[in-house]
Amino acid sequence: MSGVYPTLSGGAPREHSGRAPRDLGQSQAKREALREFVRERRSSVELAPGELTDALVGSRTSRRVSHMSGGSLGGGRGGAPPGKWLSPAADLAGSWMMLRSSWLNVLIIAAPLGLAAELLGWGPSTTFVLNLMALIPLALLLGCVTEDLSIRLGEIMGALLNATFGNVVEIILSISALFRGLYQVVATSLLGSILSNMLFVLGMSFMAGGFKYKIVTFNALAAQSSISLLLLIGIAITLPTAALHLSMGGAGPHGHLAPEDVLLMSRITAVALLVVYFCYLYFQMGSHSEMFSGPQPGAGNGGAIEEDSGEGEDEEGEEPMLSLGAAALWLGVITGLVAVCSEALTGSIEEVSHAWGLSQGFLGFIVLPIAGNACEHVTAVFVAMKNKMDLSMGIAIGSSIQIGLLAVPLVTVIGWATGHPFSLAFDPFSALVLVLSVFHTSVMIADSESNWLEGMQLIVTYFIIAVAYAMTT
């Protein structure tokens, strides 16, 4: 799902128009990936219907290819933009175009089937698998709608919208597990989202780029800025964990802090993380927006300067597919379906854990993050194969940052407000894994270069952690 990743200027200064960037972090990285894809296609072949790249980049690429060819995709609205509030004909055409933008959207049929599985008692395994599959296209469609709304609402509102809905799947999934008292599932699913992006996705990107280009380069200063935020997340989780399990001269057993004191400490820390997150949004959109205007020519591309192919004209010429009314309706329907599927999914986790012989920690750490981040995973690897490592890291590390600074503290605060004692005191193993993973990733990117061997090391690290969670009962 979306993240926050800084792309700091490297080399010669770039003229800044004074406008705030349209989207934050991961969304901006996706947009640059689309520009690169379309620029290549403009000088080569047409985009074939159903091509894998549709699943990678979604409806925005389809719109741009349609705009370049002077027609509409799949018999769409023929270039007529929808009205501001409601345009039934144009909205239907835009909705059809959005549904056809990715072959992954065919999995949307799993949503009603998953609901039927829960209501008709088809079994916990069937319910779990169907609702897990349904979350994949729902996450993709949610991204399409928020991107479309950002075109109409303007740059700052669009940025806030993307930041708000960027991780709605993970947040709703975690809240559903929270209300069921599955605190281990909440903790491991959020931690799994952070580590899967930081280790597995980044490792796959390094391997994909390294095999094709041997050495790929990226902006080291931007990467280190992200790592510092990840380290802050690790500290925020490690300290409450240590306070609960290590002797501190507290009133609890063996000198530990009492659980209620650790819970209060976690809630105060969660509020502090949310403050940092919103300050970071202002840092990107306001005070230092010129530093986040996108990769510079040659950055993340081995130092090669690329020609300007007029991509800015395409960006300015974009038109929304949906009216405000239709987009709001889509957001409501998708969010509702995500909530229903998440409720059914979390309701079957305990029985699935027993039936499959897997721990709830493993299901939360490995299985659930796959559903919420599948499309972003493929997109990051795709742009890495185009030698755009700054963009790939913007998706991988940026998503980890947004989960850690937004989703984790938000779930903690919601638990506080609803009387569910979820704290940042994870189990000691999870806290240790997070901190060690942050340091490992920091070492991998410290020299601003990567290769396939470094990517393999990150993947093996993730594999070892997954095996450890699979062994737990």
- pLDDT tens by residue, 61-97: 333 333 333 333 333 344 445 556 777 788 888 888 8
Pick the more confident residue, 230 or 470.
230
Q: Please state, in angstroms and as integers, the Cα–Cα distance from residue 278 to each residue in 41, 285, 399, following that order.
A: 38, 10, 15
Pick from 156-160, 406-410, 429-433: least confident: 156-160
Burial class (CB in 10 A: 0-12, 13-18, 19+), 42: middle
Q: Note whether residue 363 is domain-resident.
A: yes
Per residue in 329-355, pLDDT (tens digit) is 888 888 888 888 888 888 888 888 888
Q: Tell me the mean pLDDT in the region 453-458.
A: 93
Q: Please state, in angstroms and as integers, the Cα–Cα distance from residue 336 to each residue in 104, 105, 181, 278, following that order.
A: 20, 17, 21, 26
pLDDT of residue 158: 60
Q: Note whether residue 15 is domain-resident.
A: no
pLDDT of residue 271: 96
Q: Note whether residue 293 is domain-resident.
A: yes
Q: Note whether residue 212 is domain-resident.
A: yes
Alpha helices (runs of H) in 348-451, residue ranges in sequence order: 349-356, 360-362, 368-385, 389-402, 408-418, 428-445
- Name the CA dihedral angle for 278, 282, 284, 290, rounded to a multiple of 10 degrees: -170
Q: Tell me the mean pLDDT in the region 366-375.
A: 74
Total length of the chain: 473
Q: What is the pLDDT confidence band of residue 405, given thresholds at 50, 70 and 90? A: very high
- Domain housing 203: 25-471
Q: What is the pLDDT confidence band of residue 313, given thresholds at 50, 70 and 90? A: very low
The pLDDT of residue 383 is above 70: yes
pLDDT of residue 267: 95
Please tell me the total count of domains within the chain.
Answer: 1
Q: Note whether residue 344 is domain-resident.
A: yes
Q: What is the pLDDT confidence band of residue 50, given thresholds at 50, 70 and 90? A: very low
Q: Which of 199, 225, 170, 188 is nearest to 438 (CA)?
A: 199
Pick the more confident residue, 31 or 376.
376
Q: Tell me the mean pLDDT in the region 35-41.
A: 48
Q: Is the dihedral of CA 287, 290, 291, 292 positive or negative?
A: positive
CATH number for the domain spanning 253: value is 1.20.1420.30
Pick the more confident residue, 428 or 78.
428
pLDDT of residue 314: 44
Q: Note whether residue 7 is domain-resident.
A: no
Q: What is the pLDDT confidence band of residue 24, given thresholds at 50, 70 and 90? A: very low
Q: Note whether residue 246 is domain-resident.
A: yes
Amino acid identity for residue 73 in this structure? L
Per residue in 265-285, pLDDT (tens digit) is 999 999 999 999 888 878 777
Q: Note whether residue 13 is domain-resident.
A: no
